[in-house]
Chain A
């Protein structure tokens, strides 16, 4: 059965407008291998290949670096070090000056780039890197959050959000508790690794084909490194083989190496990272330590709460400030706190600089409060769902976030009711409890957790986007905008918007690569904001052209603008209908501009970081999931038996694409919380740097019974593009239900009255430890 909307030839609708279930625009190309990624671009004659030389120490002073053998190696054309940089030796996304392209006097993590080899082949370049003779003077390395907290080592100052008097509220609450929870990081493992192909142009300019979520930032960083103005550098990206945040800032270094060599040698240079190097040298999701103290009443209602977040940022700031902020913004998830304080510390460690990853700190913040929900439920002897429910945001005054924003669009109570019923949560809870009494070694667990995710960049100025639309004289349309395609379906959604606006079939709209020469000064395709912002910008551009066509037609046909309507593939002008392409041709002959830029900036948002208050988000995206697991208490292994998801995508622009995001997000989140473990040894070396040791979910790991639904009849209450909602990140956090279900299964051993000490990811090892620790506590209590 074909899941896509049947093509209709009826003149009443166009093919491929908004809200249609349509295949990805590159579907046929993906299925035939015809889609071109950076490494597939036919290499220009004379292309050379770059490979980075990486530090073998976590922290050391460089006493001496001898690259003579590297330079003499077969096939080597050039070896680049910091001395070769005409501009600035920095690729920090925020201009912090702490992300050197090439480290010089000191290395700050194992895997930091010291030099780059440019050779006739990728393999020759990689081999030559191994010939460097580097003398290190080892310095004490800080590897963990605890190391950093002990030595007060931070990449950025701490930040505090506060509302009310949490200390007093906790002190006077009928019940209170303290706890600590740790959660791990996550490797992006985009199937396509980091890749850039730099082609030298005249005047020392350069064109960089780069697999990046942020072409503008790559452009700026390359220009800084080259010591040239931004207009000397053009960055283009047709598509990425996955991004997930890992190509928001992490592409600049490799693009800059390729560009620097290309300009110097006047030859094209490709820098495609080997997978090991990619996993060792590029940033990951931040791991956190979360300490909490909470006061609550008999029903589990939170009266006061205090969180202390400590994020492992790695050696440099990168985006850690905004990521740690977003963790704070989501420390409440969907729950109201009468009095709250959230403190966040951004720990500097001698590990790779952690970066954006789908959710951008939000998942970490949410995990913290969901741990607290379970902790309260266990202590009170309540069903965790009842504790969650009683704490949900509600009507005023229970609708204010820790950052003083009013939650105006809360749909969680109804949404939870719907999924609680459709998943038969209560009945299954009873059955599982019964089942656990009858089974000594296998235990089942179930959990329902909600998601409330804020949509907009929390750095307000980033909430702007641009688009460029041309209509050619044959009526075909060229579409370009600042967003990038990484598989999330942004390009087809924006094309649907443009087709809808002009009322022309989707196949008349050509999707084109993101290019800094066409739409400048763009924001990263991140924060789930791609369709919201670029869709609006493209619509604005199309409307300008439509307006010109309307004015032209009104004058030419001597009718008023009200007598003109854009119908499917034609325009009604007075009492006659003209094919769209004919009107376009006439407008060209009438000397009307058929090209326009469009611009959008998100309304309503403002935020004052000094007082930690404002409205950082235009709206929230919601969802909830129910996961049921079975664990083996003798091995710690688990199986995900059934997952029910109800997710809010507003009035979806393309349900096929959105469902893909929901199921993919859930499974990726599940991997983060159950099987994916970044393991650094005591020398600071990442030892899980390949899929052999770093366990990414496979086809056999998806839940056997997976029931997904988008929330229906639920347009966005804000005026977003066709009332849709952002959907890239929020579903990842639905996977918290799987983690809490595992905790629930373990808790059954102690009759659901003690919270297991289970950190994330819940690997079999950790589950087993949690079981043993729980059993020891029970024995001690007897």
Chain B
């Protein structure tokens, strides 16, 4: 499992950051995005810090969230400030979605919410309750058949290091399915929120162009 359910980091974090003069939007949005655990599994590792355990219930505003990911509902108790990205990676072990900048600037964390691409690092998990989240792990069919966009990325070498690829593919699927792949220029514009530092852009555009034909047929 990802992050073991041990003790809880607790802090009046927003206040701390403000006092220190480094308060910014990111602290406000992200908060201590770590503390989520199901009470049932609490303490299973036997490693805990008395101080933080004791502090947990009163200081961390938590909520029970029903998260619908890739067609499956997960019930989690999470710090209200947990981002969707951290919930996916650290609590559901869905590590296909990547943390690139954690600022909403690189696109590596792109997932779908009710079919629309969103940046999971800027989305609070509490705000997506009851809505359908699709990650890169949920694109292929149950029998393992890849989505045409996934196959096109493979066929066209539309990646090098691969780290941005899940985010690229989620944006590309939205581009193709949302009928936004009318021309190379339109594809490039649509995809410009997803950085690829290896700059596999020519092949990404080629893959999307090919996938568009595939999806239509």
Contacts and interface: CB of A to CB of B under 8 A. Distances in A.
A191 interface: yes
A192 interface: yes
A90 B177 CA distance: 53
A32 B201 contact: no
A33 B96 contact: yes
A31 B34 CA distance: 27
B27 to A, nearest CB: 8
B40 interface: no
B190 to A, nearest CB: 8
Given A45-B47, A46-B47, A127 B13 contact: yes
A699 B146 contact: no
A414 interface: no
Please indicate which of the listed interface residues B137, B155, B160 has the most CB atoms of chain A within 10 Å of its own CB: B160
A632 interface: no
B108 to A, nearest CB: 6
Contacts of B201: 663, 667, 697-699, 701-702
Contacts of A668: 197-199
Given A33-B95, A699-B187, A123 B30 contact: yes
A242 B154 contact: no
B34 A124 contact: yes
B189 interface: yes
A275 B55 CA distance: 29
Would you call the interface of chain A mostly helix, strand, loop, or mixed? Answer: loop
Contacts of B146: 28, 31-32
A239 B159 CA distance: 14
Interface in A236-254: 239-244
Given A40-B95, A692-B105, A46 B45 contact: yes
Given A27-B154, A28-B154, A191-B98, A664 B160 contact: yes
A43 B205 contact: no
B49 A75 contact: yes
Contacts of A239: 161-162
Contact of A190 (B93, B137, B197): B197
Contacts of B202: 663, 702, 706, 708
Nearest to A666: B199
Contact of A2 (B2, B59, B155, B187): B155
Interface string A217-242: 00000000000000000000001111
A37 B96 CA distance: 10
B3 A43 contact: yes
Given A3-B155, A46-B47, A31 B6 contact: no
Contacts of B153: 27, 30-31
Given A33-B95, A33-B166, A664-B160, A46 B197 contact: no
A336 to B, nearest CB: 33
A432 to B, nearest CB: 23
A699 B105 contact: no
Given A660-B157, A664-B200, A1 B210 contact: yes
A459 to B, nearest CB: 26
B38 interface: no
Given A26-B162, A33-B137, A242-B197, A120 B155 contact: no
Interface string B127-162: 000000001110110000010001101111101111
A122 interface: yes
Contacts of A45: 4, 45, 47
Nearest to A706: B202
A191 B105 CA distance: 11
B199 A697 contact: yes
Nearest to B105: A691
Interface in B12-29: 13, 16-17, 20, 22
A502 B6 CA distance: 50
Interface residues of B, number: 86
B84 interface: no
Contacts of A426: none
A121 B11 CA distance: 12
B115 interface: no
B199 A690 contact: no
A627 interface: no
Given A691-B195, A699-B191, A660 B160 contact: yes
B195 A191 contact: yes
Nearest to B102: A275
A121 B160 contact: no
B188 interface: yes
B154 to A, nearest CB: 5
Given A24-B160, A42-B1, A242-B161, A691 B106 contact: yes
B169 interface: yes
Interface centre among A33, A122, A661 (most CB of B within 10 A): A33
A1 B164 contact: no
Contact of B159 (A24, A124, A667): A24
A326 interface: no
Nearest to A73: B11
B106 to A, nearest CB: 6
Contact of A487 (B45, B51, B161, B203): B161
A90 B30 CA distance: 34
A77 interface: yes
B160 A489 contact: yes
B187 A241 contact: no
Given A37-B98, A46-B47, A239-B161, 8 more contacts: A24-B162, A26-B162, A30-B166, A32-B139, A74-B11, A242-B197, A487-B163, A663-B203
The 3 A-B pairs of least Cβ separation, nearest first, read A33-B96, A487-B161, A241-B163
Interface of B: 1-4, 6-11, 13, 16-17, 20, 22, 30-35, 45, 47, 49, 51-52, 55, 59, 89, 93-103, 105-106, 108, 135-137, 139-140, 146, 150-151, 153-157, 159-166, 169, 184-185, 187-189, 191-205, 210
